[in-house]
Amino acid sequence: MSSLQAIEQIIAQHTQLHFDNRAALEAALTQSIVEQLSQAIIDDGKASIAVSGGSTPKALFAALSQTDIDWSKVDVTLVDERWVETDSDQSNERMLRECFLINHAAAANFIGMKSAHDDVADGVIDYNKQLATQIKQPFDVVILGMGGDGHTASWFPDAPEIDCALDATGNSSTLSTLPPSQPMPRITLSYPCVAAAKQLYLHITGDDKLQVLENGLSTNDALPIHRTLSQSKQAVNIYWAS
Ligand code: 6PG
């Protein structure tokens, strides 16, 4: 199979939307998410969303925070977290508190992944309990990002736990990863937990990330983003803007 055919075969399973600019992407993604959370509140009385950290989603979060849905009925959590104190500038929780859990969205039921334990393994046990009891499952919406190395969530190419994280038949919802490339341990949802979401998005921006995605899909079937998209039974909504 040629590399073009390889990309086409994987992309055909999903929905790929390219936008002229990031503002247009953020407006469209905000509207979809708001519709899906609102529908879940109508259907089930509550909704849940897991979001990624990093820098890409900040403007999306600002837009979401200003939407006038009943955020008190929405559980918000992270797809993954760096095992650092929540006041660290590396903390995804801190970023969410600054960019997302403000304005109307301040009323959301936020459950972070970082706890007071020294050991991330204890943090995983703690978070798994909260996920099982305090966060509506499966998620109504999950938003993934992607790094320049082709990782998504905290499923890094060099993480020793990568096969476990991406095992579609695995039964852990959350696990820790300790990729040698990263300065700190990570805590992350597993592939089965993410893939169970009713709506799954991949939100990426920049020509460099589109290149990573396309190269990864065509030439590297070991890359986490390739493994994620090729095994996902449900269509991932891939949102990209330059
Ligand atoms: C994290 C993430 C991670 C992120 C990508 C993209 O904590 O690092 O949740 O998976 O989505 O690394 O990050 P940027 O948006 O900063 O490029």
* Ligand 1 atom showing the smallest separation from residue 52 Cα: 9
Q: What is the pLDDT of residue 5?
A: 84
Residue 3 has pLDDT above 90, yes or no: no
Go through the domains of the chain in sequence order and give each one's CATH number.
16-151+194-241 (3.40.50.1360)
- The Cα–Cα gap between 150 and 215 comes to 10
Return mean pLDDT, the chain: 97
Residue nearest to atom 7 of ligand 1 (CA): 53
User: 109-162: per-residue pLDDT in tens?
Assistant: 999 999 999 999 999 999 999 999 999 999 999 999 999 999 999 999 999 999
Pocket of ligand 1 (CB under 6 A): 52-56, 79-80, 82, 92, 145-147, 152-153
Residues 6+ positions from 97 with CB-CB distance below 8 Å: 86, 110
- The Cα–Cα gap between 46 and 167 comes to 29
User: 216-233: per-residue pLDDT in tens?
Assistant: 999 999 999 999 999 998
| C-alpha distance from residue 126 to each of 9, 123, 200, 216 (Å) | 39, 5, 25, 34
Q: Confidence class of residue 41 from pLDDT cuts 50, 70 and 90?
A: very high
What spacing in Å lies between the alpha carbon of 105 and ligand 1's midpoint? 21
The terminus-to-terminus CA distance of the chain in angstroms comes to 29
Residues in the chain: 242
- The Cα–Cα gap between 53 and 121 comes to 20
Q: Confidence class of residue 1 from pLDDT cuts 50, 70 and 90?
A: confident
Crossing angle of the two packed helices 92-99 and 58-65, in degrees rounded to 10: 40
Q: Tell me which of 29, 77, 79, 80 to substitute to probe ligand 1's pocket, judged by most ligand atoms within 8 Å of the beta carbon.
A: 80
- The Cα–Cα gap between 2 and 196 comes to 31
- The Cα–Cα gap between 34 and 36 comes to 5
Mean pLDDT within 57-84: 98
Q: What is the pLDDT of residue 234?
A: 87
User: 158-179: per-residue pLDDT in tens?
Assistant: 999 999 999 999 999 999 999 9
Mean pLDDT within 199-209: 98
Q: What is the pLDDT of residue 7?
A: 85
